[in-house]
Structure 1
Amino acid sequence: MTDVAQKSSTAPAKTRYFAVTALTYAMFFMFAMTTDAVGEIIKIAKGDMNLSNTQASAFHWATMTAIALSGILFGFFADKFGRKKTIIAGLALYGLASAAFFTGTTFQLYFTLLFVSGLAIGIFKTAALALISDITTSTEEHTRTMNALEGFFGIGAIVGPLLVISMHSRGISWTYLYLIAAALCLIMIIWAVFTEYPETKKSTDEPINLGKSFALMGNKYAMGFSMAIALYVAAEVSIFVWLPSYLDGYTGGQIATWMATYAVMVFFVFRALGRFLGIWILKHFSWTTVMMLFSGVIFICFAASAFFGQTVAAFLMPLSGLFMSMMYPTLNSKGISCFPKTQHGAVAGLILFFTAVSAAAIAPLMGFVADSFGGDMRYGFILATIMAGLLFIGMIYNHLKDPAATALQQANVTEYNL
C-alpha cells in the first residue's frame, strides 16, 4: 500500500476521501480520550500513590515532553515516507504502549509508557495534520477542516474524563482507559491499511530531512505562530490538568457545587461545541478579529477566576472553553498554510514541538508555584492568567498588523490554484 491513489478519479476531494477524513477525525477522538483525561487521573493517582502536585504533574509532562521531541525529530516522516505509512506506524506504537499499562502498577512503568505514548502521538498527529492539506482546496477550507478535526478531539476529551470518573466510582482502575485506546488503535490500523490516501506531494528540489525541520526555526511565520500557540496551550492545559485540584473540596450552592464537580467536563463540552461552531463563524468573520476578541474574553475569565476564588472559577473557567475552542486549530492551520504542502509535515511537527513544550512546562511549573504557597492552586492559576494576558496582547498585534496575510494569499495561488 502507498499514498498514491491506485486509480484516477474526478470526484471532489471531500467525497473521494471521505473514509480517510473520517479516520483522521477518529484518531484525534481516540488520543484525546487519554491525554485530556490526565486531570482526573492525576486527582486519583495523587491519593493512590501519595504524590505531591509536582510529582503528579509527571503524568502530564512525560507525554508532552515526548510529543515535543517527536514533533521536531520525526515531523518530516510524513513528508518523506508518506502520510499513510507514518500514521500506521504511529498508531501501532501508541496501541502497544497503551496495552502495556497492564504489565505492572509502578509509577516508573506508567511514566515510561506515557513517554512512549507521546512519541507515538507526535508521529501520527503530524502526519494527520499534513494530510489535511492534501484533502482541502484552500487555506480557508483548511482552517475550517482543522476546526472540525479539533471538534472531534474535543468530543474525545469529554468522553475520556467521564470514563475515568465512571470507572473510579465503580472501583475500576483508570488504566482500563488505555485498554480501550489500544483496541481503538487496532481497529484504526486495519481501517488505514484498506483506505485510499491522496498522493503525498514531494519537492524535487531539496531533500526532506531533519535538517530542514530545524531550519524552519529561523522562519518568522513558523516561530510567530508557534509562540502564539505555546501561550494558548499554557492557558488551556492549566484547566484540564489543575482545575480539578483547584476546585477539589469546594462546597457552595447546589449549582456551584455541581459546576465545580464537573467543571472540566463542562469546559470540554463548550470547547467541542465551539470548534464545530467555528466552521460557521470563520465563514462570516475575519479570523484575526475572532482571535483578538476571543483571547480577550479568555484573559478576563482567567483573571477573574484567579483573583476572586473558587466560586467564580467554577463558572468562568468552564465557560472559557467556548472561546478557547477556535484558538488552537485556527492558529495551527494558519501557521501550516503559510508554507508549501511539501513542508506541511515538518511545519506541523515544529508547531507541535512548541505546543508540547508549553504543555509540558506549564503543568509542573503551576504545581511548583502552588506547592510554594502551601499547595494552594490559586497561585498556579495566577501564572496561567499571565500567559493568557500575553496571548491577548499577541492577538491584538496580529489583528492590527496581520503579518501572515501575504503568505496566506500566496499559498491560495501556489498550493491550491485559486
Structure 2
Amino acid sequence: MIIAAIAVSYYVFAILLNSVGTVILQSINSFDISKPQASTLEGFKDLSIAIVSFLIASVIPRVGYKLAMLFGLALVAVACSLAPSIANFLFIKILFACIGTAFALVKVSVYAVIGQLSSYTKAHSSLMNTIEGIFMLGVLSGYWIFAGFIDPNNDASLAWLNVYYLLATMVAFTFLIVMFAPIAPVQLANESTIASEFTSMLKLAYKPLVLVFIFSIFLYVLIEQGIGSWLPTFNNEVLGLPTQVSIQITSIFAIALAVGRLTAGAVLRKMNWYPFLNICLAGMAVVMLISLPLAETNDIQTDVASWSDAPLAAFLIPMIGLMMAPIYPVINSVMLSTLPLAQHAPMTGLIVVFSALGGTTGSIITGFVFDAIGGQNAFYLSLVPIAALMATLFFFKKASSSIYQQGAQS
C-alpha cells in the first residue's frame, strides 16, 4: 500500500510537471507570447521546487511524510480546478508555482520513504529506478492526455485548458490513496530541533562528495529539461509537424525514459553503475550527432498530418531518453546509500534544490538560444553538459568509493 501511494503520487506529478513543454507550446499559440516569455514557466515550476525544498526539507520529517504529501496534493487539486475558468498566462504561472511547491513536499517524502522500505544498496537502487520508471510512464500519459484536449483545427483555442478538470480529479483520487497508506513517521533524535536539522542540511553541502554530486545532478537535469521542455516546439517549428502531432510524438521521449529506467533496475543488479553510466553518456552524444544533421536537412513540411508523414529525425531525437534515463536515479541512489536514514530527508532537499535549478537553467538557455539562432543549435549545445557530466561522474565515483571503503573498514 505504501509503494502504491508513492507510485501513484509520482505518476500524477509526472503528468503535471512534464506538461511544461506542451504548455509552453500552447501558451505561445493561445496567449501570443514569445519563446523567452514562455520559458519562464520552467522557472515558476522549478524555482518554487528549489525554494520550498531548501526551506522545509529539514522540517518535513518532523511534520510527517504523509501529512506533507496530503497538503501538496490538496494544493494542486484546487489550483488545477481553477485553471480552465481563469484561463490566462499569469494564472498558468501561478499553477506551475503551486505544482512545484507541492512536488517539493512529495519528492522529499517519497525519497525518504524509499529509504525506509530498502535495507541495502541494490534494493534501494532497484526500487528507486522502478518509482522513477513509473514517473516516466506518467510523463508518457501526459502527452496523450493533453493532446486529446487540443483543437487540431485551431491552435489558438483555449479548449486545452479543460484537461485540468481531469487532472484535478486524478489528484483527488491520489489524495485518498495516500490518506489510507500506513506511512510510518520518522524517528527523530531526542535532541534534534528544526534549526539543527536545517543546519545539518547546509553542512551536507560542504562535503566534497556532496559537492560533486549536486553539480552532477544539476548538469543532468539541465540536459533533460533543456531537451524535454522544448522538444514539442522543436517538432513544430523545426520539423514542421502540426501542434497535436508535435506533442504526441514527443511521447517517444517519455517512452524511452520509462524503458531506460525500468530496465536499468535489472541491469544494475549485475553491472557496476559507473561504467554503465559512461556508456549511457556516450550513447547520448552519439544519438544527438546522428539525429540533428537529419533535422538540419529537413525542409519544413506543410502537409504533415500524422506520425507516418513525420521525418526520421522526429523519431531519432527522442531516443536520447533511452540513454539518459538511468543516470539521475542511479547517482541519487549511490549518494543516498552512503548516508544514514536520518540524513535522507535533508539530502533529498539538496537533490530537489539543485535539480530544480538545473531544470530552470536548461529550459531558459534553450529557449533563448532557440529564439536567437534556431532549434538545431540549441540542441547541439547539449553536448557541452554531456561532456561535463562525464567529468563530474569520474570524481563522484572516486569520492563515493572512498566512503564505501571507510565504511567497510569501520
TM-score, normalised relative to structure 2: 0.87
Say if 1:196 and 1:261 are closer, same or farther in 2 by CA, change over 3 A: closer
Matches within 5 A, 1:17-416: 19-169=1-151, 173-208=159-194, 209-249=197-237, 262-306=248-292, 309-310=295-296, 313-373=313-373, 376-398=374-396, 401-408=397-404
Partners of 2:76 and 2:99 within 8 A in 1: yes
CA distance in 2, matches of 1:133, 1:411: 18
Say if 1:229 and 1:168 are closer, same or farther in 2 by CA, change over 3 A: same
What one-letter code is carried by the residue in structure 2 that aligns with 1:228?
A: S
* Secondary structure, counterpart of 2:25 in structure 1: helix
CA distance in 1, matches of 2:220, 2:313: 18
CA distance in 2, matches of 1:305, 1:356: 28
Over the aligned positions, Cα root-mean-square deviation in angstroms equals 2.6
What one-letter code is carried by the residue in structure 2 that aligns with 1:96?
A: V
Partners of 1:337 and 1:408 within 8 A in 2: no
Say if 1:89 and 1:379 are closer, same or farther in 2 by CA, change over 3 A: same
* Secondary structure, counterpart of 1:50 in structure 2: coil
Aligned to 1:10: none
Range 331-340 or range 265-274, more displaced:
331-340
Deviation at 1:299, TM superposition (A): 2.2
Deviation at 1:337, TM superposition (A): 2.2
Aligned to 1:5: none
Partners of 1:302 and 1:388 within 8 A in 2: no
Deviation at 1:226, TM superposition (A): 1.4
Gapped regions of structure 1 (runs ≥ 5): 1-18
Say if 1:411 and 1:24 are closer, same or farther in 2 by CA, change over 3 A: farther
What one-letter code is carried by the residue in structure 2 that aligns with 1:179?
A: Y
CA distance in 1, matches of 2:394, 2:208: 18
Say if 1:411 and 1:328 are closer, same or farther in 2 by CA, change over 3 A: farther
CA distance in 1, matches of 2:9, 2:174: 8
What one-letter code is carried by the residue in structure 2 that aligns with 1:62?
A: F
* Secondary structure, counterpart of 2:269 in structure 1: helix
Partners of 2:22 and 2:247 within 8 A in 1: no
Deviation at 1:392, TM superposition (A): 2.3
Deviation at 1:348, TM superposition (A): 0.4
Deviation at 1:66, TM superposition (A): 0.7
Range 224-233 or range 350-359, more displaced:
224-233
Partners of 1:57 and 1:367 within 8 A in 2: yes
CA distance in 2, matches of 1:261, 1:136: 37
CA distance in 2, matches of 1:303, 1:213: 40
1:354-374: per-residue Cα shift (whole Å, max 9, x none)? 00001011111111122222x
Query: Matched residue pairs, number?
Result: 389
Gapped regions of structure 2 (runs ≥ 5): 297-310
CA distance in 1, matches of 2:281, 2:239: 30
* Secondary structure, counterpart of 1:137 in structure 2: coil
Deviation at 1:106, TM superposition (A): 1.7
CA distance in 2, matches of 1:22, 1:96: 23
Aligned to 1:13: none
Partners of 2:114 and 2:128 within 8 A in 1: yes
Partners of 1:31 and 1:121 within 8 A in 2: yes
Say if 1:413 and 1:340 are closer, same or farther in 2 by CA, change over 3 A: farther
Aligned to 1:8: none
CA distance in 2, matches of 1:306, 1:409: 43
Deviation at 1:100, TM superposition (A): 2.4
Say if 1:205 and 1:295 are closer, same or farther in 2 by CA, change over 3 A: farther
Partners of 1:127 and 1:345 within 8 A in 2: yes
Say if 1:106 and 1:172 are closer, same or farther in 2 by CA, change over 3 A: closer
Deviation at 1:129, TM superposition (A): 0.9
Deviation at 1:169, TM superposition (A): 3.7
1:25-73: per-residue Cα shift (whole Å, max 9, x none)? 0011101112112212221221111111111112222111111111111
What one-letter code is carried by the residue in structure 2 that aligns with 1:85?
A: L
1:331-360: per-residue Cα shift (whole Å, max 9, x none)? 112222222111211110111100000101
Range 402-411 or range 186-195, more displaced:
402-411
Aligned to 1:14: none
Deviation at 1:162, TM superposition (A): 0.9
* Secondary structure, counterpart of 1:167 in structure 2: coil
Range 308-317 or range 211-220, more displaced:
308-317
TM-score, normalised relative to structure 1: 0.86
Range 33-42 or range 93-102, more displaced:
93-102
* Secondary structure, counterpart of 1:203 in structure 2: coil
What one-letter code is carried by the residue in structure 1 that aligns with 2:125?
A: T
Partners of 2:31 and 2:88 within 8 A in 1: no
1:395-414: per-residue Cα shift (whole Å, max 9, x none)? 3454xx53212435777999
Say if 1:46 and 1:405 are closer, same or farther in 2 by CA, change over 3 A: same
Deviation at 1:150, TM superposition (A): 0.5
Say if 1:302 and 1:120 are closer, same or farther in 2 by CA, change over 3 A: same
CA distance in 2, matches of 1:192, 1:411: 36
CA distance in 2, matches of 1:267, 1:286: 25
Partners of 1:151 and 1:276 within 8 A in 2: yes
Deviation at 1:203, TM superposition (A): 2.7
